[in-house]
Amino acid sequence: SILLFSGGVEASIAGLLLHNHTGGNISLWFPKLLKLLTEMPPDQTDELLLSLCQGLKGEPKILEKIIAIMREDKAKIRAQASVGNYKKAYIIAVNKKMRGEILWLQGVCETAGDNQTRDFCKKFLEHNPI
């Protein structure tokens, strides 16, 4: 049984699961990922899932499955942004009125050259002052 490991072993195991099955049948590896998550402290699961999302730009179905099991909206926003889904990240942040995340996303969009989403963020921040 995989219990508490130090040094990111959980991430390595989950990454190995994902790497070996990306593009394949999700039903083969997703239950293993879910089991791994139940054996981890709850406050660490989103961090692990976020680290997995960063390599899933070309795998939208797998990405959405992983984001769906994240606990925190902040992690969902960062996961979407990590693969270039800035508009999806923006929608989550706006729906939850997460001003700090919108400010963060504005900077990410500026760096990435997504001027449209950056401008959406800017308008939201202007119309929703602190």
Q: 7 versus 88: which is more confidently predicted?
A: 88
In percent, the amount of the chain with pLDDT more than 70 equals: 79
pLDDT of residue 4: 37
Q: What is the mean pLDDT of residues 89-100?
A: 97
Q: Please give the pLDDT value at position 61.
A: 86
- Checking if the pLDDT of 103 tops 60, the result is yes
Under the banding of pLDDT at 50, 70 and 90, the label for residue 31 is confident
pLDDT in tens, 32-86: 888 888 888 888 899 888 988 877 778 888 889 999 999 999 999 999 999 999 9
Query: Can you give the three-state secondary structure of the chain, one letter per residue?
Result: CCCCCCCCHHHHHHHHHHHHHCCCCHHHHHHHHHHHHHCCCHHHHHHHHHHHHCCCCCCHHHHHHHHHCCCCHHHHHHHHHHCCCHHHHHHHHHHCCCHHHHHHHHHHHHHHCCHHHHHHHHHHHHHCCC
**pLDDT score of 94:** 97
Q: Does residue 22 surpass a pLDDT of 60?
A: no
